[in-house]
Structure 1
Amino acid sequence: MRRVVIIGAGIAGLAAAIRLAKKGFAVRVLEAGSQPGGKMSEIRKEGFRFDTGPSLFTLPHLVEELLEEKLSSKYHKLNLITRYFWEDGTLVNAWAEADKFALEMEHVLGVPASAVHKYLDEARFLYEHTAEMFIFNPVMSLKTLFSAAGLHALKALPRLKAFRSMHSYHEQCFSNPKAVQLFDRFATYNGSDPYKAPATLTMIPHLEHNLGAWFPQGGIYQIAQDLENKAKQLGVSFHHNEAATLIHFRGKKAYTVQTSSNTYETDLVISDVDIARVYDHLIPHKPLPMRYINRPVSSSAIIFYWGIRRTSPMLDVHNILFAEDYRKEFDALANGTLADDLTVYLFISSKIVKSDAPEGCENWFAMINAPYDRGQNWNELRLKARNIILSKVQRILGMDISKDILVEDYADPPLIAIKTGSWRGALYGISSNDPMAAFLRHPNKVSAFSNVYFVGGSVHPGGGIPLCLASAKIVDKLIKK
């Protein structure tokens, strides 16, 4: 039986473990932490439970493929995806059903429902013509270009809008600035800037409003738990609290993986570790190629996990409180700091998972976009973010929660870097602001190593739950039985 060592039990590492075990490999997973999931983790404190990483789940079929079961009994499909709030009291409910969402936009913002449908139809076209090529296949080569997926994607080439920004395209589609801002926000799903990111990314809303978003009955962390349980059923061996320290090579071939306590012989290695860390720590004899070193990286976040002693009937699971000057917010991020007004994302899983908070309480995941770590004064920036969030919640929602916070924890770029191994705390690896970003991510397989493969958010096709799962699917295709 051929052996494979997977380094990292993030969502991509778990998916790779399941896929390789199904192929008949003897799979061993080495994980530095005490639990699976990577960025998808949880905190439990004084009766509150918080998902700490990804919070929105789309493309559930990628998990169904792994678990070999339908998720409808354990995963709840959201009817209302996000509530959007502005300082002037405007509230837009982003319903999952496209027709209902379009009518909401027309009723509240005066945007013709037909314009919303036209936009979502274009998003569907882009996704359906390009996803197989750019998401579920290796980085483009002549072989993939002339494959069925490549030829199908070529039909969308005139409509990719790769050389104009999301923001400029949204201004063309919608005359209402609030509608523009609402759709601009989708750039942040992979840590991008809507004023720079290519309009190709306007396919992202298709996932929510044409396909739908889901929520597990036990919270987002249930996904990691379900995948680990499935892997164990297939005979995968997990070694928690055992970090890989070095991959040993003979020429191009990896033959052992060393940890602080053991050395494991292997026929294949799959890394689910941030790509910069892989080269710095696990393959120090081979430096990270310069074309990746010089690439700008994605944004990070400052997150507060608040257990509060009250409820909020006006809020749903996913909520956005918009900044008045969105461009100024992203300009500040590019300069490594925070603007004086910020867009706040509030995620409250206890709206669905009642056990996530004591009765009469809620668990608030309050997040703002932040720059990656460049040595800034994070104590100062974190305090600034906290004050802005509390003030914004009071102004827009009429809630002074400062005295109702019973439990508090936080994450900022340095802490994210320590806990997840993300380079400088960047959540999505290299930035997607470049029109050619889809071709510039580190591949899942490189010629320098004959039996080493790469999965996870810092390599192709990118970060977020669906793309990390897709990276494992790509590696599964690349590895022969």
Structure 2
Amino acid sequence: MATAIIIGSGLGGIATALRLRHKGYQVTIFEQNDYAGGKLHSIEKDGYRFDLGPSLFTLPHLVDQLHDLFPDHCNSFSYIKKSVGCHYFWEDGTSFKAYSDQADFVSHASDTFAESKAVINNYLNNSKSRYNLTKSLFLEKSLHKWSTYFSINTIQAIINAPFLGLFNTLHKENEVFENPKLTQLFNRYATYNGSSPYQTPGIMSMIPHLEMGIGTYYPQNGMHRISQSLYELAVKVGIEFRFRESVTKINYKDNKATGIKTPINNYKADIIVSNMDIYPTYKKLLTDYPAPQKTLDQERSSSALIFYWGINHKFPNLDLHNILFSENYPEEFDHIFNKKSLFNDPTVYINITSKETKTDAPAGCENWFVMINAPGDYGQDWEAMIVEARKNIIAKINNCLHTDISNYISTEHVLDPRGIEKNTSSYRGALYGAASNDKFAAFLRHPNFNKGLKNLYHVGGSVHPGGGIPLCLLSAQITADLIPDVS
């Protein structure tokens, strides 16, 4: 039987393994940790359960597709659609519920921000059009194969290039709104791929369609169920997981990948897929092979500083997803990307899964995932930065919610860019690989195949099409489609 080895059991790695198993390969996944899922992991502490990683779930059909590959096995994964995508707060007392239904969103946004309904509707319709025009080219196929460019969808995207916002920044696109708060709300979508709205191209205005057009969802029993349901399925269909066995080298001969080396053994395979961040893939596993330095030198995406707080109080005015905005958004992103530091007035994201899964927190309590965008790890004094950031986050929460949150924090766990890199091998702790602060960034990402080594492929957030749950799953689809079926 043809064999395949997957390096890393992040979401992209497991999804690729399932697709290759469906193609007839015998698949083995090697993982340095003692668990599967990569960033989609969770912890329990003092009666609270916290999802450690991504907290937003869109395009759930991409997970369903993987379960549907094996209809003989029970699908243990379910989810609900949220009627409110996110709840926004500003220090002047303004708050806004972003309804998933477009008509409701437009009506409420018009009332809250004194903005024209026609302007908001037009923006959301353009978001949908841009998404539909570009998804085939940028999200569903390899950008590095000539065949991609000889399709009607690609030709349509090229013809419509001036309309796509490639030559504007996202912020410039969003200045169509008169109210700066609404501009700030839509600027926020740059963070979905770890970029700055003042640098990333306007085509990123298609991202709101994922939330407001297609919808936001919540997996029953938390985000961790995404990775765990796929891991459980993988075990059922015969995929082998070798935990706590780090890959130290990709073996090759005559420009053809032949297997891997670990501290335990050498393993041969017909196909090798690296789900490891592209930077350490070359720097640690292919040390004697010429690296694509231009690709590796790309600016890294933002990282995160996350406080996991057990809160012994209930906040009815909060939802599953909540954003408390900075009063100076440009300065915040300047600190993250140019100064490699944290701004003293950060935008704070709060995710509370106990709003949906009551058992995630003790009775009368809530589990708060409190995150701010952060630069990657460039050797900063993180211990001092964490202390200062904690103080500033608490001040932001108190100012927006009119409370003293420090009175309610009963337990705490902290994750910073150093820990993200250690746990997931993400270079500098970047959440999305390379940043998209350039209109050509999508084309500069590493392809899903290796141009120099036959039988070596790449998947995950650091390669095409990018980071985040949907893009990692699409990366797996693209990668698997490049690999031949077992004859």
TM-score range, shorter chain: over 0.9
CA distance in 2, matches of 1:40, 1:157: 35
What SS class does the counterpart of residue 215 from structure 1 fall into?
strand
CA spacing shift, 1:356–1:347, aligned 2, 3 Å? same
Equivalences for 1:49-448 in 2 at 5 Å? 49-68=49-68, 74-171=78-175, 173-333=176-336, 334-448=338-452
How far off its partner does 1:453 sit? 0.3
The change in CA–CA distance for 1:140 and 1:388 in structure 2 (over 3 A counts) is same
String of CA shifts for 1:190-231, please: whole Å, max 9, x gaps.
110001110010000000000001111110010001111111
Task: Name the SS for the 1:402 alignment partner.
Answer: helix
C-alpha contact (below 8 Å) 2:247/2:263 kept by paired residues: yes
- Distance apart, 1:414 and its partner CA: 1.0
Which of 456, 467, 473 lines up with 1:469 in the alignment? Answer: 473
Q: Tell me by how many angstroms 1:154 deviates.
A: 2.3
Work out the CA distance in 2 between the residues paired with 1:120 and 1:235. Answer: 44
Query: 1:242 offset after TM fit, Å?
Result: 1.4
Distance (Å, rounded) in 2 between the aligned partners of 1:255 and 1:266 = 6
User: Cα gap change, 1:72/1:29 in structure 2, threshold over 3 Å: closer, same or farther?
Assistant: closer
| Matched letter for residue 305 of structure 1 | Y
Q: Residue 82 of structure 1 contacts residue 94 of structure 1 at CA under 8 Å; is this kept in 2? A: yes
CA shift for structure 1 position 140: 4.2
TM-aligned CA distance change 1:97 to 1:294, over 3 Å: same
Deviation at 1:467, TM superposition (A): 0.4
What's the secondary structure of 2:248's corresponding residue? strand
Give yes or no for contact 2:12–2:473 (8 Å, CA) kept in 1. Answer: yes
| Secondary structure in structure 2 of the residue aligned to 1:409 | strand
Q: How far 1:71 moved relative to its partner?
A: 8.4
SS at match of 2:437: coil
Residues in 2 aligned to 1:129 and 1:275: alpha-carbon distance in whole angstroms = 28
Identity rate, percent: 45
Q: Which moved more, 1:152-161 or 1:265-274?
A: 152-161
Give the C-alpha shift of residue 245 in structure 1. 1.2
1:368 is paired with a residue whose SS is strand
Cα pair 1:126 1:156 within 8 Å, conserved? no
**Residues 274, 457 of structure 1: 8 Å contact kept:** yes
**2: CA distance, partners of 1:134 / 1:207:** 15
Is 1:456 aligned to 2:460, yes or no? Answer: yes
CA contact (8 A) 2:432 2:462 kept: yes
TM-score (norm 2): 0.96
Compare 7-16 and 150-159 and name the one that shifted more: 150-159
Deviations 1:238-282 (A, max 9, x none): 111111111111121122211122322111000100000101111
CA contact (8 A) 1:134 1:140 kept: no
Paired amino acid for 1:291:
K
Q: Which moved more, 1:257-266 or 1:349-358?
A: 257-266
SS at match of 1:239: strand
Note closer, same or farther for the CA distance 1:461–1:189 as it changes in structure 2 (3 Å cut).
Answer: same
Measure how far apart 1:286 and its partner are: 1.4
Q: 1:185 to 1:71 in 2, by over 3 A?
A: farther
Structure 2 residue runs without a partner (length 5+):
none
In the TM superposition, what is the alpha-carbon distance from 1:447 to its structure 2 partner? 2.0
Q: Supply the RMSD in Å over aligned alpha carbons.
A: 1.4
CA contact 2:9–2:36 (8 Å) conserved in 1: yes
Cα distance, 1:36 vs. partner?
1.1
TM-score relative to the length of structure 1: 0.98
Task: Tell me if structure 2 keeps the 8 A contact 1:243–1:260.
Answer: yes
Residues of 2 paired with 1:13 and 1:236: CA distance? Answer: 12
Partner of 1:30: 30
Q: Given residue 336 of structure 1, which amino acid in structure 2 is its aligned partner?
A: K
**Aligned partners of 2:382 and 2:446: how far apart in 1?**
29
Q: AA paired with 2:19? A: R
Distance 1:433 1:41 in 2: 28
Question: Relative to structure 2, which stretch is displaced further, 182-191 or 146-155?
Answer: 146-155
State whether residues 278 and 296 of structure 2, in contact with CA within 8 Å, keep that contact through their aligned partners in structure 1.
no
